[in-house]
Chain A
Amino acid sequence: QEVTLRLHQFLPAQANVPKNILDPWADKIEQESGGRIKIERYPAMQLGGKPPELMDQVIDGVVDIVWTLPGYTPGRFPRTEVFELPFTMNDAETTSRAYWKLAEETMMDQDFAPIKPLGLWVHGPGVIHSSQPIDELSDLNGVKLRAPTRVTNKLFSNLGATPIGLPVPAIPEALSKGVVDATVIPWEVVGALKVSELVKNHTEFPEEAIYTSTFVLAMNKEKYESLPDDLKAVIDSNSGLEFSAFAGKKMQEDDAGPRQAAIDMGNNIIELTPEQAAKWKEAAQGTIDAWIAEMDEKGLDGAGLFKRAQELTASN
């Protein structure tokens, strides 16, 4: 082959995202390039560093492609957070499309200026997994909870819970030992972390989810520019809006298995009614307002971003 690209990411090779999204994507590129591109895959941070360093690794060209979460480096990709605000995401495919479009409108020269984004997507609806049932807001009172993002940390502390900062792999142990009472993650991750064996209650929200997280598949800019035009075209035709939508859809589809497994284990799935959820939404408004104010303060037009994200989500 002519070009070898190193793809570095934090999950083991057999996890859902590498297996169902990244591998098919890489295989397709290898094939369509007629074998001229080879994508070497390094799962589980094999090439060193911790997950938050992935972004620097791709910017500096330590590796050529990374899959990571903008949220691993809070403050660095402020605009992406608009899709992580509470109760703004309903369907991962739709939101992923909106995410890519908003990025094209506002982020490529800003947040993502140092990299070449190949795919931008969100995971399926976030779910609260807890040892004690959580139906109402008041059930959160004093619950020690591991929240996944900067925004959800604020949200849950506003809602009366005690957020505890933990890395993802520490969740099972922390749950089993009561270091935390609850964690907030989508179903897709539940299987790998064996969460439904550790806690028996899962609170789901109707329509909009309480949260989602944004992902980015990014390539080193110079490396991309250095490719001959026909190879660039192979990468381009497999990246962007449609790939992002596919990845978001795929991730949400991967929610089904672990959810069914939890039901089969006799776990208690709490599906809140729209009336119950309305109270949560009302309580979460403060977090959204605070985020908008914070962005305005940074001169990023928080209100405009929020409005445009909503429009794009609705129109997809």
Chain B
Amino acid sequence: MLLNLMDRLARAMAILGGLVLTALIALTCVSVLGRGLNTLGHSAFLTSLSEAAAKALTATGVGPVSGDFELVEAGISFTIFAFLPICQLRGAHATVDVFANSFPRWLNRFLMTFWEVLLSALIILITWRLYVGMEDKMRYGETTFILQFPVWWAYGLSFAAAVIASVVAVYCAIARIAAYVTGQDLTPDAEGESIEPA
């Protein structure tokens, strides 16, 4: 029941992150295209072909999307934070199991619980520090270069995603401990997921 809720939450976050990623891809393509047309409008080639066409093209004001780099940076950070919950819930973090496979079962159960708890603690630590970082950016009034939006907005988006990651992390830690104590598994089985390192 709670697992179901957590899974839906993590999935929703991942999809939200994926949609932002898709939007950034589209934005970048538009920017590349705009820059290409802008270059074409100013090129000797088009000007020699038809000055009117070149003028018309540049007159449209077509060009790269202003501040595209900044938008990608702000957006991609949200995306990655939004991807973290599902990673942890489905045990997607890379591990080396070759020696562990020969450990006794009780040791493996202990290690998995132990690492899960530490991982969750780390994610909460990261979330807390991200909040402090956001406060700094807010206090100092730092902005981006070109669009000059406050940097803390981007921190804030990432922080929101990190909070969800922390919630899922707490669940994972508690579920692991409960599983260790009671012997009943409350996390989805990571086996058979095709996790792709590179």
Contact = CB atoms under 8 A, between A and B. Distances in A.
Interface of A: 56, 73-76, 142, 144, 150, 153, 162-166, 178-179
A162 B68 CA distance: 13
B142 A74 contact: yes
Interface of B: 35, 38-39, 41-42, 58, 63-64, 67-70, 136, 140-146, 148, 150
A249 to B, nearest CB: 29
Contact of B142 (A76, A144, A164): A76
B35 A144 contact: yes
B145 A164 contact: no
Given A142-B63, A144-B35, 18 more contacts: A73-B142, A74-B142, A74-B144, A75-B142, A75-B150, A76-B142, A142-B38, A142-B58, A144-B38, A144-B39, A144-B64, A162-B63, A163-B146, A164-B64, A165-B68, A165-B69, A166-B69, A178-B39
Contacts, number: 46
Contacts of B140: 73, 75-76
Contacts of A56: 136
Nearest to A53: B133
Contact of A162 (B38, B142, B148, B150): B38
Contact of B64 (A74, A153, A162): A162
B77 to A, nearest CB: 13
Nearest to B150: A75
A75 B141 contact: yes
Q: Rank and list the top 4 A-B pairs by shortest CB-CB distance, nearest first.
A: A75-B143, A76-B140, A75-B141, A165-B69
A291 to B, nearest CB: 13
B47 to A, nearest CB: 12
Nearest to A78: B141
A178 B136 CA distance: 37
A150 B151 CA distance: 14
Nearest to B141: A75
A302 to B, nearest CB: 16
Nearest to A148: B145
B142 to A, nearest CB: 5
